[in-house]
């Protein structure tokens, strides 16, 4: 993980793990690695990881089984809903930002097509 110094690490962890779950890299109902292991894996302090996981639990994406570990929710609807909200948020934010530097909707779409045509594919950020 490369962390952006301007954003709290635990928030970046939340985003990262949320994506892993949405993408199914952590499957529905699957047990997550232990807090300590996740912390080691992503090279953060266990408390920081804990804080991120509490946030994911608040969002119902994971739940805790006492002394057994943490599991991805078994409710596919929650995951789908979060995925949809996320997509909508990203898209609205993108259009908002593009408009705020002077693009209108048609221009945005043209811009995307042009980028695609030039690159074959949109370059990864």
Partner DNA sequence: GTGGTCTAGACCACG
Partner DNA sequence: GTGGTCTAGACCACC
Other Cβ atoms less than 10 A from the Cβ of 106: the count is 8
- 115 is an interface residue for a copy of itself by CB under 8 A: yes
- 60 Cβ neighbours under 8 A, 6+ residues apart: 73, 75, 78
- 86 is an interface residue for a copy of itself by CB under 8 A: yes
Q: Distance (Å, rounded) from C-alpha 46 to C-alpha 54?
A: 12
CB of residue 33 to a copy of itself, shortest distance in Å:
20
The residue (of 34 and 58) whose beta carbon lies closer to a copy of itself is 58
Say which entry of a copy of itself, DNA, none residue 112 contacts (CB below 5 to 8 A, set by partner kind). a copy of itself
CB of residue 7 to DNA, shortest distance in Å:
7
Contact residues for DNA, defined by CB under 7 A: 5-6, 8-11, 32-37, 44-48, 50-51, 53-54, 64, 66-70
Q: Distance (Å, rounded) from C-alpha 1 to C-alpha 22?
A: 18
CA distance from start to end of the chain: 15
CB of residue 57 to DNA, shortest distance in Å:
7
């Amino acid at each position: 993980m490369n962390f952006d110094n301007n954003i709290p690490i635990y928030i970046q962890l939340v985003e990262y793990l949320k994506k892993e779950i949405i993408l199914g890299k952590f499957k529905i109902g699957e047990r997550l690695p232990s807090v300590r292991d996740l912390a080691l894996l992503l090279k953060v302090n266990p408390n920081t990881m804990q804080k991120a996981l509490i946030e994911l639990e608040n969002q119902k994406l994971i739940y805790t089984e006492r002394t057994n570990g943490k599991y991805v929710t078994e409710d596919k609807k929650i995951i789908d809903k979060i995925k949809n909200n996320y997509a909508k948020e990203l898209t609205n934010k993108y259009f908002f930002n593009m408009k705020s530097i002077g693009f209108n909707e048609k221009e945005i779409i043209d811009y995307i097509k042009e980028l695609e045509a030039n690159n074959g594919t949109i370059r990864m950020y």
